[in-house]
Chain A
Amino acid sequence: MKHYEVEILDAKTKEKLCFLDKVEPNATIGEIKSMFHRTHPQWYPARQSIRLDPKGKSLKDEDVLQHLPVGTTATFYFRDLGAQISWVTVFLTEYTGPLVIYLLFYFRVPFIYAPKYDFTTSKHWVVHLACMCHSFHYMKRLLETLFVHRFSHGTMPLRNIFKNCTYYWGFAAWMAYYINHPLYTPPIYGEQQIRLALILFLFCQIGNFSIHIALRNLRPPGSKTRKIPYPTKNPFTWIFLLVSCPNYTYELGSWLGFTLMTQCLPVAFFTLVGFIQMTVWAKGKHRSYLKEFRDYPPLRSPIIPFIL
């Protein structure tokens, strides 16, 4: 068996960083990254971007050396992606924040509202309902992160955690402040409005969860395969007929429900901002589905049936 020689150059300076000899032809990029890590301990595999061309796309960890367009002395280029943090860590941190923060406002801990309201409870039952819904939503997200989602990438840049937490924690505090305020005004149409809102919220929570399960089942454990999602026996997944990213569709629906339930302008803002971001993501995902699969169903829209 003929062994390969691998040299790794810095993509910017073209400086030779590492030379590996007697590399197996069936070695993967992932294994090469581990070897590179041994000579440069500060660059753990997750922060390495290895490419064939200095300005080219990153090679995947699964790519096999002998299947790449390289000679027996392979030259790769390295770029440092910066400090990385695992998706799981980011999700757990950004979702635990809102859960805890909202409860601080709900229980009216001192220094938020006037001292005479410390540790009092709201006299409006919708405020208690809202707390249950908000807490349920974030607990669901935490459990899904731990047990349901299968991530394509293990990590993301470290700075994302600061950005993401500011967004989630900041908005959670802003919303919770008003909903749990002693001067909170309940919805105009009272019980009817709250009931409708709750039904919408619960329907979309179940829907969102159904989609997450369906997407998980597309991908065998430990793999990173990508397939077109299709409706399953679960009626909540039939929306796949019309939409590429129904998880976002249901998420929007949940927050519209919560906005209706609380009749709170900051909640409406949060819903709007989230909707804009999810639309951007949905359009991107839709486009990559279209690029990757020739037979992608033409009836589907990214996030809103027929519209967006």
Chain B
Amino acid sequence: MSAAAQGTSKAAHGDVAPKKKKGPGALATAYLVIYNVVMTAGWLVIAVGLVRAYVARGSYHGLYYSIEKPLKFFQTGALLEVLSRVFLTWAVTHSVREVQSEDSVLLFVTAWTVTEIIRYSFYTFSLLNHLPYLIKWARYTFFILLYPMGVTGELLTIYAALPYVQKTGLYSVTLPNKYNFSFDYYTFLILIMISYIPRKSIGRLHFPLQKSAIRKTGYTG
């Protein structure tokens, strides 16, 4: 699942920044503010790291390495993040070294990064009850570009990993063995790619639907 879809599902369930009528207690608010500030900072670090590495190298090849550590930390540290993002980072990009130099990785990392910066600033401001219209506008508008960008990057990355997975038999179990069980990671990845069609079409609709629902109900957030 790409960045924007992740953000939409959070907003839909009101997980991280609930806009309840009574409002969260002081301690809960403080925790959420700190959490969101840290997440914003973390993704800014990743973004800055990307920019610096690009400037230093003069090209965008190999940018993955420059942000590898914080990316891994912030991706897995955010327990509320959807599993599929963790999957893409660890089970695909990390596990298949050959994929790390692909442009597609840059594509989805950029999409996630920009989305996350906007998203966490959105939550931070919402919690403080002072949401600049610019942030709200940015979140819904950038989604239109970032969502397909993220999805494309993710799909291309998985696709790039396929030949290496098939050649090395990564994460695969073959017969015969004493547990009488087998698993083919290559086929599994293909099934994941196919599953993007229904999953992402639903996700793609979420933000526009939410936006029109908000407009209709007059919810000012």
Chain A positions within 8 Å of B, measured between CB atoms, are 178-179, 181, 183-185, 188, 262-266
Kindly state the separation between the CA atoms of A179 and B175 in the bound complex, as whole angstroms. Answer: 12
Residues of A within 8 Å of B179, CB to CB, are 263-265
Residues of A within 8 Å of B176, CB to CB, are 183-185
Are A178 and B178 closer than 8 Å at their CB atoms? no
Interface: B133 (CB within 8 A)? no
Cβ proximity bits B154-178 to A, threshold 8 Å, 1 near / 0 not:
0000000000000000000001111
Are B178 and A179 closer than 8 Å at their CB atoms? no
**Closest beta carbon of chain B to A112's beta carbon, Å:** 14
Are A263 and B175 closer than 8 Å at their CB atoms? no
Q: In this complex, what residue of A is CB-closest to B178? A: A185
Q: In this complex, what residue of A is CB-closest to B181? A: A265
Are B178 and A181 closer than 8 Å at their CB atoms? no
Interface: B212 (CB within 8 A)? no
Interface: B180 (CB within 8 A)? yes
Kindly state the separation between the CA atoms of A188 and B178 in the bound complex, as whole angstroms. Answer: 7
Kindly state the separation between the CA atoms of A265 and B176 in the bound complex, as whole angstroms. Answer: 13
Are B178 and A184 closer than 8 Å at their CB atoms? no
> Considering the complex of A and B, which 4 residue pairs feature the smallest CB-CB distances, nearest first?
A265-B181, A183-B176, A183-B175, A264-B180
Q: In this complex, what residue of B is CB-closest to A175? A: B180
Kindly state the separation between the CA atoms of A178 and B175 in the bound complex, as whole angstroms. Answer: 9
Kindly state the separation between the CA atoms of A153 and B150 in the bound complex, as whole angstroms. Answer: 50
Residues of A within 8 Å of B175, CB to CB, are 178, 181, 183-184
Kindly state the separation between the CA atoms of A184 and B175 in the bound complex, as whole angstroms. Answer: 8
Residues of A within 8 Å of B181, CB to CB, are 178, 264-266
Kindly state the separation between the CA atoms of A178 and B180 in the bound complex, as whole angstroms. Answer: 6
**Closest beta carbon of chain B to A130's beta carbon, Å:** 11
15 A-B pairs within 8 Å (CB atoms) are namely A178-B175, A178-B181, A181-B180, A183-B176, A184-B175, A184-B176, A184-B180, A185-B176, A185-B178, A185-B180, A263-B178, A263-B179, A264-B181, A265-B179, A265-B180
Residues of A within 8 Å of B182, CB to CB, are 178
**Closest beta carbon of chain A to B113's beta carbon, Å:** 38
* Further contacts, 9 of them, CB under 8 A, given A178-B182, A185-B177, A185-B180: A178-B175, A183-B175, A184-B176, A184-B180, A185-B176, A263-B178, A264-B179, A265-B179, A265-B180
Kindly state the separation between the CA atoms of A188 and B176 in the bound complex, as whole angstroms. Answer: 13
Residues of A within 8 Å of B180, CB to CB, are 178-179, 181, 184-185, 262-266
Kindly state the separation between the CA atoms of A183 and B181 in the bound complex, as whole angstroms. Answer: 10
Kindly state the separation between the CA atoms of A32 and B175 in the bound complex, as whole angstroms. Answer: 61
Cβ proximity bits B170-200 to A, threshold 8 Å, 1 near / 0 not:
0000011111111000000000000000000
Residues of A within 8 Å of B178, CB to CB, are 185, 188, 263
Residues of B within 8 Å of A183, CB to CB, are 175-176
**Closest beta carbon of chain A to B175's beta carbon, Å:** 4
**Closest beta carbon of chain A to B76's beta carbon, Å:** 26
Kindly state the separation between the CA atoms of A263 and B180 in the bound complex, as whole angstroms. Answer: 7
Q: In this complex, what residue of B is CB-closest to A264? A: B180
Give the contacts of B101-116 with A (CB-CB under 8 A).
Answer: none
**Closest beta carbon of chain B to A297's beta carbon, Å:** 41
Kindly state the separation between the CA atoms of A253 and B113 in the bound complex, as whole angstroms. Answer: 51
Q: In this complex, what residue of A is CB-closest to B182? A: A178
Kindly state the separation between the CA atoms of A185 and B182 in the bound complex, as whole angstroms. Answer: 12
Residues of B within 8 Å of A188, CB to CB, are 178
Q: In this complex, what residue of B is CB-closest to A184? A: B180
Kindly state the separation between the CA atoms of A185 and B180 in the bound complex, as whole angstroms. Answer: 6
Q: In this complex, what residue of A is CB-closest to B183? A: A265
